[in-house]
């Protein structure tokens, strides 16, 4: 007979008690094996949402989720490893230029990425717009590519933290997605199991982010940094603004094109700024802060690493990217200064145009998305193009236009106050 039962664990947390190490180990293992029912786990998740967990509990919970599956090991590589995780935003293509840039600086980047859901884009969806590129790699292929090229962006295998996969789906349908202990352990169980030596977290804050306010975002960042530190992974977090979308594009192929511009030494200033800020943190975590990523970016070596990385996964870095069949211009209703461009409005528009999905199994359009021709602080002229909407399905335009209503303001220069891109830094 088991040392614990689900009801005892649920009642303990419902009544605001701390869960013991053995209770946590048992409930995660039993749930993964199917011995704890979804109804019971959803009840426990709600109790955690309402009553919280302390640092020891969250650390143990994360450890139990890691123990539910395999752990990867990169110790055989000839260079140190660093990884980055973003909590998701709009126009957030940073992984694409960042992974090859850090690789070109001498640090291996094992970037296990995901697909988009709702208004936030998915890195794998973006890269799949490159003809021939594939997301699924075996562990051996991943290790070989890390040694040869220095960077890999691929899908996580089913072997990493299977408890998280099950619990994530459950949280989605039981109103417990917002529980910080569960968000933090979900992200960190996969990142720690992945075996990276150091980790940089990009925790987004603002209208287009999962965390809308700075205090909640800081709590999440501090929780995740503590989890990484407790697991022996050098972890830091940057809190970055996601009230305005990043760069000038949101979608799939359009974001790849913008990332290539950055690697070629151009691209939007904010994308370059955040790529370099995260690169510096990753290099410092891996003990390579003697390298200046800005110099490496300017030298073209990051572009070489990008081409090698795409080719190694079957992609053609020279192939033309897919283009949407239909486009529609949104014109500026008056002249003035663009004082606000709302990330959520743009993200919803890109999603409705076909760049994102409502359910995991939905297909995405490679060419769909939004391109904006002005950023907050820029002058615009009445009747000039403010945004271009791209889709393969013209019927989608009306709903995309509806999501942009009230999504931007045009005023005078005095009514615009720039906000910093990096809001804060959290370390152990």
User: Are 253 and 346 members of one domain?
Assistant: no
Q: Which of 51, 11, 49, 50 is nearest to 27 (CA)?
A: 11
Backbone CA torsion sign across 79, 311, 97, 223: negative
- Could you give the CA distance from residue 176 to residue 42 in angstroms, rounded to a whole number? 8
Look at residue 293 in the predicted model and tell me its pLDDT: 98
Judge whether 357 and 364 are in contact, CB under 8 Å. yes
Among 269, 290, 318, the domain-final residue is: 318
Residue-range definition of the domain harbouring residue 385: 326-415
User: Are 334 and 204 members of one domain?
Assistant: no
Let me know if residue 58 belongs to a domain.
no
pLDDT tens series, the chain, 428 aa:
578 999 999 999 999 999 999 999 999 999 999 999 999 999 999 999 999 999 999 999 999 999 999 999 999 999 999 999 999 999 999 999 999 999 999 999 999 998 877 777 789 999 999 999 999 999 999 999 999 999 999 998 888 899 998 998 888 889 898 899 999 999 999 999 999 999 999 999 999 999 999 999 999 999 999 999 999 999 999 999 999 999 999 999 999 999 999 999 999 999 999 999 999 999 999 999 999 999 999 999 999 999 999 999 999 999 999 999 999 999 999 999 999 999 999 999 999 999 988 777 788 999 999 999 999 999 999 999 999 999 999 999 999 999 999 999 999 988 899 999 999 999 98
User: Are 296 and 357 members of one domain?
Assistant: no
Backbone CA torsion sign across 105, 244, 199, 96: negative
Among 318, 335, 369, the domain-final residue is: 318
The kind and range of the H/E element at 29 are helix 21-33
- Could you give the CA distance from residue 39 to residue 181 in angstroms, rounded to a whole number? 19
Let me know if residue 175 belongs to a domain.
no
Let me know if residue 332 belongs to a domain.
yes
Look at residue 204 in the predicted model and tell me its pLDDT: 97
User: Are 154 and 27 members of one domain?
Assistant: no
Let me know if residue 189 belongs to a domain.
no
Is 326 a catalytic site residue? no
Among 164, 202, 230, 342, the one annotated catalytic: 164
Environment class of 70 (CB within 10 Å of its CB; exposed 0-12, middle 13-18, buried 19+): middle
User: Are 116 and 143 members of one domain?
Assistant: yes
User: Are 199 and 241 members of one domain?
Assistant: yes
Q: Which of 135, 143, 140 is nearest to 114 (CA)?
A: 135
Is 185 a catalytic site residue? no
Let me know if residue 269 belongs to a domain.
yes
Look at residue 357 in the predicted model and tell me its pLDDT: 85
Is 164 a catalytic site residue? yes
Judge whether 93 and 258 are in contact, CB under 8 Å. yes
Length in residues, the chain? 428
Q: Measuring CA to CA, how many Å separate 120 from each of 82, 334, 350?
A: 24, 30, 9
User: Are 150 and 286 members of one domain?
Assistant: yes
Among 4, 60, 165, 190, the one annotated catalytic: 190
Let me know if residue 98 belongs to a domain.
yes
Backbone CA torsion sign across 155, 160, 164, 170: positive
Domain count, the chain: 3
Let me know if residue 187 belongs to a domain.
no
- Could you give the CA distance from residue 150 to residue 77 in angstroms, rounded to a whole number? 10
User: Are 149 and 38 members of one domain?
Assistant: no
Look at residue 1 in the predicted model and tell me its pLDDT: 52
Is 243 a catalytic site residue? no
| Residue 329: other Cβ atoms inside 10 A | 12
User: Are 313 and 203 members of one domain?
Assistant: yes
The CATH number of whichever domain residue 37 belongs to comes to 1.20.970.10
User: Are 215 and 124 members of one domain?
Assistant: yes
Let me know if residue 424 belongs to a domain.
no
Among 43, 59, 113, 186, the one annotated catalytic: 186
Among 171, 218, 352, 396, the one annotated catalytic: 171
Look at residue 420 in the predicted model and tell me its pLDDT: 96
Among 13, 60, 85, 307, the one annotated catalytic: 85
Is 75 a catalytic site residue? no
User: Are 267 and 301 members of one domain?
Assistant: yes
Look at residue 3 in the predicted model and tell me its pLDDT: 81
The CATH number of whichever domain residue 410 belongs to comes to 3.90.1170.30
**In terms of DSSP H, where are the helices of 136-291?**
139-148, 162-173, 180-193, 214-230, 253-263, 269-285
Among 318, 349, 368, the domain-final residue is: 318
The CATH number of whichever domain residue 128 belongs to comes to 3.40.1030.10
User: Are 203 and 304 members of one domain?
Assistant: yes
């Amino acid at each position: 007979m088991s040392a614990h039962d689900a009801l005892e664990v649920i009642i303990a947390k419902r009544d605001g008690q701390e869960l013991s190490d053995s209770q946590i180990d048992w409930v995660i293992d039993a749930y993964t094996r199917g011995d704890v029912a979804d109804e019971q786990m959803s009840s426990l998740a709600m109790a955690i949402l309402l009553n919280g967990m302390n640092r020891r509990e969250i650390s143990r919970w994360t450890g139990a989720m890691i123990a539910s599956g395999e752990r990867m090991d990169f110790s055989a590589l000839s260079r140190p490893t660093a990884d980055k995780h973003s909590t998701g935003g709009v126009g957030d293509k940073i992984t694409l230029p960042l992974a090859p840039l850090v690789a070109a600086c001498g640090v291996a980047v094992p970037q296990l990425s995901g697909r988009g859901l709702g208004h936030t884009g998915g890195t794998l969806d973006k890269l799949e717009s490159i003809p021939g590129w594939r997301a699924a790699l075996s562990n051996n292929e991943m290790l070989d590519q890390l040694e040869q090229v220095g960077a890999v962006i691929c899908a996580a295998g089913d072997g990493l933290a299977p408890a998280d996969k099950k619990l994530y789906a459950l949280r989605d349908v039981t109103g417990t997605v917002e529980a910080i202990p569960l968000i933090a352990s979900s992200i960190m169980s996969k990142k720690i199991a992945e075996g990276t030596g150091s980790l940089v977290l990009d925790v987004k804050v603002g209208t287009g982010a999962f965390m809308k306010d700075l205090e909640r975002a800081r709590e999440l960042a501090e929780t995740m940094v503590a989890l990484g530190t407790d697991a022996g992974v050098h972890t830091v977090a940057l809190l970055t603004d996601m009230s305005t979308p990043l760069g000038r594009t949101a979608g799939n192929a359009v974001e790849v094109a913008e990332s290539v511009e950055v690697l070629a030494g151009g691209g939007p200033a904010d994308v370059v700024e955040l790529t370099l800020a995260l690169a510096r943190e990753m290099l410092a975590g891996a003990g390579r802060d003697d390298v200046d990523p800005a110099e490496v970016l300017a030298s073209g070596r990051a572009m070489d690493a990008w081409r090698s990385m795409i080719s190694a996964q079957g992609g053609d870095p020279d192939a033309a990217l897919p283009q949407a069949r239909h486009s529609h211009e949104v014109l500026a209703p008056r002249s003035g200064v663009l004082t606000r461009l709302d990330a959520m409005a743009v993200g919803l528009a890109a999603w409705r145009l076909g760049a994102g999905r409502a359910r995991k199994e939905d297909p995405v359009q490679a060419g769909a998305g939004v391109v904006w021709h002005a950023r907050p602080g820029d002058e615009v002229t009445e009747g000039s193009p403010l945004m271009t909407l791209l889709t393969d399905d013209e019927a989608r335009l009306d709903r995309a236009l509806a999501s942009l209503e009230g999504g931007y303001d045009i005023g005078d220069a005095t009514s615009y106050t720039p906000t910093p891109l990096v809001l804060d830094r959290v370390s152990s």
